[in-house]
Amino acid sequence: MLVNEKVAIEHGLKSDEYKKICKLLKRTPNITELGIFSAMWNEHCSYKSSRIHLKKLHTKGKKVIQGPGENAGVIDIEDGDAIVFKIESHNHPSFIEPYQGAATGVGGIMRDVFTMGARPIANLNSIHFGSPQHKKTKNLLRGVVHGIGGYGNCMGVPTIAGQTSFDSSYNGNILVNAMTLGLVKKDKIFYSKAAGLNKPVIYVGSKTGRDGIHGASMASASFDEKIEEKKPTVQVGDPFTEKLLLEACLELMSGDSIIAIQDMGAAGLTSSSIEMASKGNLGIEINLNKVPCRETKMTPYEIMLSESQERMLIVLESGKEEIAKKIFDKWNLDFAVIGKTTNTKNIELFFDNKQVANIPVNTLVENSPMYDRKWKKSKLPKKNKIDKTKLRNLKIKDTLRKILSSPNVCSKEWIWQQYDHTVMGDTIQKPGGDSGVVRVHKTDKAIAATVDSSATYCWAHPLTGGKQVVCETWRNLISVGAKPIAVTNCLNFGSPEKEENMGEFVECVQGISEACKYLDYPVVSGNVSFYNQTKDIGIKPTPAIGGVGLIKDYNKMITMDFKEIDNIVLVIGKTEGHIDQSLLSRIILNEKNGPPPEVNLFNEKNNGLTLLNLIEKNFIKSAHDVSLGGIITAIIKMCIKGNKGIQIKKPKFLINEIEYFFAEDQGRYLIEINPKDFKEVTKILDKNSVHYDEIGKIIDKDMIIDQKTKLTIDELKSYNTNWFKGYMV
Amino acid sequence: MKSSVITFPGSNCDRDMDVALTKFGFKNKMVWHNDQELPKSDLIVLPGGFSYGDYLRCGSMASKSKIMNSVINFAKSGGLVMGICNGFQILVEAGLVPGVLLRNKYLQFICKNVHVKVDNKENTFFKNLDKKVLEFHIAHNEGNYFCTNNQLKEIEDNNQIAIYYCDQNGNTNDQINPNGSIKNIAGIFNKEKNVLGMMPHPERMIDESLSGEDGSIFFKNLLNNIK
């Protein structure tokens, strides 16, 4: 096939990008080479619109062993142990084919983690759908949940936490972000940097088929009405093969055969071979006739661009081929020596004894395009004047019912019961809490993990929203008694070619960076997903943050369920009554505008660390962070989980009751303490200048707000659980 | 007491079972599916997971693997064999216990705690058990036990039903049935009651910090019964 500018544009390249390729090569590329360029230079693989801004992220810290740039980030959890983790998007494929899209998203992120030598110990996910009334939502939700479960359950890795939201901005573009944590010994981490000349390059895992060709390019474009035609670009997953691949790789990794290893994810054999060569500053030579193929007559172009799943590329020590082959034979996986490392610094491909591609590696990586796109700064919206009489006239009971049964607050048990969350026998906090917690096998340590996003806040003011999401995950970790260590981010945005969307991206990143820096909570891995838009309509900016923390003694883990009658409940952190962008404002007052709650990083850090100190001293019986739906929603969740009630002490505040209960001010937690510890606890809070209110006392089975307002826990529970069951019938 | 846990390609509860057996005093060995011979054992366990990716039918390919000949001979000569979850599916496919396991009634994977009623204590697995109702954990997509009416009659006549899904007080009814199993059957014996297949995972309930401790009661009792 003849290559010209038109063919290049059909490959998703821009006209000037094509010219740049010809200039770099000093000739016209052939079709295989063009395919390789298009795969490496698309947004998904090259980060061409985001790179310049991602550099600003805070990525350093004492606990960071590996920051962004590898298959996943790595943090130190002491005693020679390390946690490898990352979050990744699989948005576009999941919208086209929800089951396979979500399943291969989970498969891909697990491969990223075990590529580094770590055994996956927990999965999480952040999934976002259009309005529940939209005709596609129900099927997409069902398909995505089945896909996530289908893959993760089969792998035998527990899915311990997640987040689900509904918003009409996702009607044409759902989000599926999958996160995996793995455990590895600090001195047994594997990297993707090739080293040494004439070392054998090995292909292992599934055979290569025609599935997923141009998957990464598809993920780098907006959707239009021809979306259904893109179904063949969605990969098909086989978790069984991945389970075998996991066991085989870990078995090989226990020896000393591997120099470098890289999974074949987006852009398959192309990106994996080029990344290994690029990092090692080497060349690589591949004989494509040696690649195990599922179908006959596959062309070099197809072999290089296939995104068939469950494959790995390994650079072995010379002479270790037999040892390695034996292991992969045992697990019934394909094993083939397909090439070697060279000193040419080029990627050279051969097929039927002919050279079919020869490209300098640096033209694909270092010389890939980088754009400083135009972006628009967002102004902080003006506060709404809230009609106080309207607020005063709201009936607490009705308001609560509406909030608790709203799709974004209600219990997500329907979802997480379909995920195996207990396999591996170390899950000590299941989904439905503030963070999922797994023990570090056979130790007293435990790892807490959470994933969060707040699209509404980010949409209202990206800078504040970016900070807020980081803080929310920080609070989720503190609430279970974990010391937050680091985060991974999945940055889901609309088209970077639109100034508003690019502005949302830039300012969210800035917010994330500021918060991470202040909290000493660095970003160690992540991924960017642009072009989440159909025609001209983009999603609300949705950076999803996955936070990871350490609990040194798992016996000190905290859960949110109320524990004992007569215990006292305090609110930590000050309630100013911020209603704009709250759930109350959006679903009860029907007000969409206004600024998100302000994030005060000093308070956030101070309140969080003080609470950790109280937990360390064994004063805290239960804890829960205050987020969507405010104090009252948080209290009710604690009541429901603990099957206990509360006698609420009427707050003596200037702001009215509704504002106090439903405001979404940041930096707040609810804690349960024993009355005998009250003095000691409040002394510590005072000493650290942490504001607190006494909100109530735990009683049996009822929530009593005042003499007129009394609700049974069963009633509240039914509000909270019925929506989902009714919706998914 | 010696136990062996078989690892098939795709097994994923093999380690959990090893941890549980070892914790309660078994000397456990892991056995590869491609081996011919079993180590000397007092108990053989087929663990949960997705052997052969559930391809064809859950458990069917694993039931034909090399080691299964030895497992079948071991069972026929009276040795104790226990299949949990996918292990139960393998036992069914190997013909060691009667019936089949269909997809769950609501066509969904279910992962949650359940209560099971232990009715039949005249066997090595449940003999001397103090409790009548145990809290176990299920995690499966195909646990909907089914058999023909004739088979059911035979099973009931021979007292082969091991455990039933029930509420915390031991009542069995449709509401409490998580997957649509006939008669709320959660586990079943062979005629001789030396082979037990059950969907719930006792190995996930062996520690206060996990979902509960009734698995500990089960394993301790089992060890004492074998001694």
Annotated active-site residue B203? The verdict is: yes
Place of tokens 């350093």: A60
Predicted local distance difference test score (pLDDT) of residue A235: 82
Predicted local distance difference test score (pLDDT) of residue A562: 98
Write the single-letter amino acid at A223: F
Q: Where are the alpha helices (DSSP H) in A664-710?
A: 678-687
Predicted local distance difference test score (pLDDT) of residue A222: 73
Predicted local distance difference test score (pLDDT) of residue A649: 86
Q: Which residues pair with A488 in a beta bridge?
A: A525, A546
Predicted local distance difference test score (pLDDT) of residue A387: 82
Q: Do B209 and A418 touch (CB under 8 A)?
A: no
Catalytic one of B85, B93, B137, B147: B85
A598/A580 Cα distance (integer angstroms): 11
Predicted local distance difference test score (pLDDT) of residue A80: 97
- pLDDT, one tens digit per residue, over A156-175 is 999 999 999 999 999 999 99
Residue B40: is it exposed, middle or buried by C-beta count within 10 angstroms (0-12/13-18/19+)? exposed
CB B121 within 8 Å of CB B157: no
Write the single-letter amino acid at A25: L
Work out whether strand A73-76 and strand A446-452 pair parallel, antiparallel, or are unpaired: unpaired
Place of tokens 């307002």: A709
Which of B9, B109, B206 is nearest residue A153 as measured by Cβ atoms?
A: B109
Which of A150, A420, A428 is nearest residue B139 as measured by Cβ atoms?
A: A420
Least Cα separation, residue B77 to chain A (angstroms): 31
DSSP B202: G
Chain B residues whose beta carbon lies within 8 Å of the beta carbon of residue A152: none
Task: Name the band, by pLDDT with cuts 50, 70 and 90, for residue A231.
Answer: low
Average pLDDT over residues B70-80: 97
Backbone phi and psi for residue A630, each to the nearest 5 degrees, phi listed first = 75, -165
Place of tokens 């599935």: A211
DSSP A360: E
Strands (E), A97-225: 119-129, 159-166, 175-185, 200-205
CB atoms within 10 A of CB A708: 9
Predicted local distance difference test score (pLDDT) of residue A215: 67
Q: What is the CA radius of gyration of chain B?
A: 16
Strands (E), A61-174: 64-66, 73-76, 81-89, 119-129, 159-166
Q: Where are the alpha helices (DSSP H) in A448-573?
A: 455-460, 462-479, 499-519
Q: Which chain B residue is nearest to residue A143, measuring alpha carbons?
A: B108
Q: Encoding tokens for residue B77? A: 């000569």
Segment 151-190 of chain A within 8 Å of chain B by CB: 153-156
A105/A179 Cα distance (integer angstroms): 9
Least Cα separation, residue B105 to chain A (angstroms): 13
Instruction: List the one residue out of B45, B44, B61 whose CA is nearest residue B9.
Output: B61
Q: Encoding tokens for residue A291? A: 């690649």
CB A522 within 8 Å of CB A59: yes
Is A319 part of the contact surface with chain B (CB cutoff 8 Å)?
no
A428/A441 Cα distance (integer angstroms): 12
Is A331 part of the contact surface with chain B (CB cutoff 8 Å)?
yes
A582/A594 Cα distance (integer angstroms): 10
CB B174 within 8 Å of CB A404: no
Average pLDDT over residues B12-21: 98
B124/A421 Cα distance (integer angstroms): 31
- CA dihedral defined by A479, A480, A485, A491, rounded to 10 degrees? -70
Predicted local distance difference test score (pLDDT) of residue A535: 83
- pLDDT, one tens digit per residue, over B174-183 is 999 999 999 9
Q: Do A420 and B20 touch (CB under 8 A)?
A: no
Predicted local distance difference test score (pLDDT) of residue B76: 97
Q: Do A243 and B108 touch (CB under 8 A)?
A: no
Q: Do A154 and B20 touch (CB under 8 A)?
A: no
Q: Mark out chain B residues that contact chain A at CB-CB < 8 A.
A: 9-10, 12-13, 15-16, 19-20, 48-50, 52-55, 108-112, 137, 139, 141, 201, 203-204, 206-207, 209-211
CB atoms within 10 A of CB A27: 10
Assign residue B174 the CATH number of its domain: 3.40.50.880
CB atoms within 10 A of CB A675: 10
Predicted local distance difference test score (pLDDT) of residue A686: 98
Place of tokens 């979306």: A227
A712/A490 Cα distance (integer angstroms): 40
Is A594 part of the contact surface with chain B (CB cutoff 8 Å)?
no
Q: Encoding tokens for residue A193? A: 């940097």
Q: What is the CA radius of gyration of chain A?
A: 26
A342/A365 Cα distance (integer angstroms): 17
Write the single-letter amino acid at A53: H
First CA to last CA distance, chain A: 52
Domain that holds residue B16: 2-226
Predicted local distance difference test score (pLDDT) of residue A728: 87
CB A580 within 8 Å of CB A596: yes
DSSP per-residue string spanning A397-412: HHHHHHHHTSTTTS--
Least Cα separation, residue A141 to chain B (angstroms): 13
Query: How far is C-alpha B143 from the chain's CA centre?
Result: 11
- pLDDT, one tens digit per residue, over A67-97 is 999 999 999 999 999 999 999 999 999 999 9
Mean pLDDT of all residues in chain B?
Answer: 96
Chain A residues whose beta carbon lies within 8 Å of the beta carbon of residue B210: 422, 425-428
Cβ-proximal residues to A296 (8 Å cutoff; 6+ apart), any chain: none
Q: Which chain A residue is nearest to residue B34, measuring alpha carbons?
A: A330
Q: Where are the alpha helices (DSSP H) in A357-450?
A: 361-364, 388-392, 396-404, 413-416
Catalytic residue positions of A, numbered: 44, 90
Q: Do A422 and B210 touch (CB under 8 A)?
A: yes
Predicted local distance difference test score (pLDDT) of residue A704: 94
- The answer on pLDDT for A653 being more than 70 is no
Q: Do A423 and B12 touch (CB under 8 A)?
A: yes
DSSP per-residue string spanning A70-84: BSSEEEE-STTEEEE
Q: Do B209 and A555 touch (CB under 8 A)?
A: yes
A195/A200 Cα distance (integer angstroms): 11
Is A147 part of the contact surface with chain B (CB cutoff 8 Å)?
no
Is A148 part of the contact surface with chain B (CB cutoff 8 Å)?
no
What percentage of chain A exceeds 70 in pLDDT?
Answer: 97
Q: Which residue has the higher pLDDT, B70 or A220?
A: B70
A105/A95 Cα distance (integer angstroms): 12
Chain B residues whose beta carbon lies within 8 Å of the beta carbon of residue A426: 210
A195/A316 Cα distance (integer angstroms): 10
Q: Which chain B residue is nearest to residue A728, measuring alpha carbons?
A: B106
Predicted local distance difference test score (pLDDT) of residue A654: 59
Predicted local distance difference test score (pLDDT) of residue A218: 62
Tally of domains within chain B? 1
Q: How many residues does chain A have?
A: 729
Q: Do A423 and B9 touch (CB under 8 A)?
A: no
Q: Which chain A residue is nearest to residue B32, measuring alpha carbons?
A: A330
Strands (E), A506-604: 523-529, 533-534, 537-538, 542-551, 568-572
A266/A88 Cα distance (integer angstroms): 11
Predicted local distance difference test score (pLDDT) of residue A536: 85
Is A107 part of the contact surface with chain B (CB cutoff 8 Å)?
no
Average pLDDT over residues A467-493: 98
In this prediction the pTM is: 0.96
Backbone phi and psi for residue B98, each to the nearest 5 degrees, phi listed first = -80, 165
Task: Name the band, by pLDDT with cuts 50, 70 and 90, for residue A700.
Answer: very high
Q: Do B109 and A420 touch (CB under 8 A)?
A: yes
First CA to last CA distance, chain B: 7
Mean pLDDT of all residues in chain A?
Answer: 94
- pLDDT, one tens digit per residue, over A702-729 is 999 877 889 999 999 999 998 998 898 7
CB A690 within 8 Å of CB A609: no
Task: Name the band, by pLDDT with cuts 50, 70 and 90, for residue B68.
Answer: very high
Q: Which range is least confidently modeled, A134-148, A574-588, A644-658, B82-96?
A: A644-658
ipTM comes to: 0.97
Backbone phi and psi for residue A334, each to the nearest 5 degrees, phi listed first = -65, 145
Instruction: List the one residue out of A690, A698, A710, A656 whose CA is nearest residue A674.
Output: A698
